Amino acid sequence: MRENWYTDKKQKKTKDVSDMERKKILLVEDEVKLARFVELELKYEGYDVTVCHDGREGMQQITDGKYDMLLLDLMLPGLTGIEICRRVRKFSQIPIIILTAKDEVMDKVAGLDSGADDYMTKPFAIEELLARMRVAFKHSAGTAVKKSVLQVQDLEIDLEKRMVTVGGKLVDLTKKEYELLTYLVQNKNIVLTREQILNEVWGYSYIGETNVVDVYIRYLRAKIDEAFGKKYILTIRGVGYYVKEEE
């Protein structure tokens, strides 16, 4: 990785945000200079930022403190970002964005599969991180207010409990699998392109990486179609996917 792709902007003044609105961010990043840079930029934007340089210490902070969002590096001493993500998801739906030098699709899948909301590959522009943070906040606010049950034949999604059942049997889905299935079912009988799915479920466009969608469609089919001998998720070759409601 290139060194010092970020610049030091110590002189900036913090934007005027009241303490009531000030969102609490925990940044777990072992590159001290980068952590300091991100901390200063976020503080300038009006966020209340706490920094940890060690995975274990970060996990301790999460269980002790009250945060509105986590920014996690992947390769950390003590505990990896993915492991922190998995542990946090057992008790919290707090928005999580992973910051990492790794840029392989499978690493992204592992990160998102462990429950992260989004993924930033270093080097990144601070403006892009800020934009994705806003998207992640919007998403988490949106999922908190929905209350109802979606249904396609004997597949049911309880949006309040975030629970999926087929014929009354509970299906264990990861966060992204659940969000993908919900999006498909909310738009049943409409063919959705990979780009549309990426935009909606992952929150922005991954240029040239729409195969993440195919990977997740395979996971869903294994857990729902194959496990129950059904065919809910259909493919339109060269176009995308949809969930079909039978007449």
> How far apart are CB 163 and Ca ion at their closest, in Å?
35
Give the CA distances from residue 7 to residues 41, 59, 126, 152, in Å, rounded to whole numbers and listed in that order.
10, 28, 10, 51
Is the peptide bond preceding residue 123 cis, with omega within 30 degrees of 0? Answer: yes
How far apart are alpha carbons 51 and 53 in whole angstroms?
7
The piece of 40-48, 74-82, 85-93, 229-237 that touches Ca ion (CB under 5 A) is 74-82
- Segment contacting Ca ion by CB under 5 A, of 65-73, 114-122, 151-159, 177-185: 65-73
Q: Tokens 């990896």 belong to which residue?
A: 80
Are 186 and 150 contacting, i.e. CB atoms less than 8 angstroms apart?
yes
Nearest approach in angstroms of CB 49 to Ca ion is 18
The beta strands (E) that lie in 53-154 are given as 69-73, 96-100, 118-121, 149-152
In this chain, which stretch among 23-31, 107-115, 162-170, 216-224 interacts with Ca ion, using CB under 5 A? 23-31
Q: Are 89 and 115 in contact (CB under 8 A)?
A: yes
Binds Ca ion (CB under 5 A): choice among 39, 41, 45, 73: 73
- Please report where in the chains the tokens 């089919």 appear, as a residue: 221
User: Cβ closer to Ca ion: 30 or 48?
Assistant: 30
Minimum CB separation of residue 77 from Ca ion in Å reads 8
Strands 240-243 and 192-193, by their bridges, are antiparallel
Q: Least distance to Ca ion from the beta carbon of 142, Å?
A: 31
Quick one: which of 75, 125, 190, 236 contacts Ca ion (CB under 5 A)?
75
Q: How far is the CB of 169 from Ca ion (least distance, A)?
A: 41
Residues 24-43 that bind Ca ion (CB under 5 A): 30
The residues that touch Ca ion, with contacts defined as CB under 5 A, are 30, 73, 75
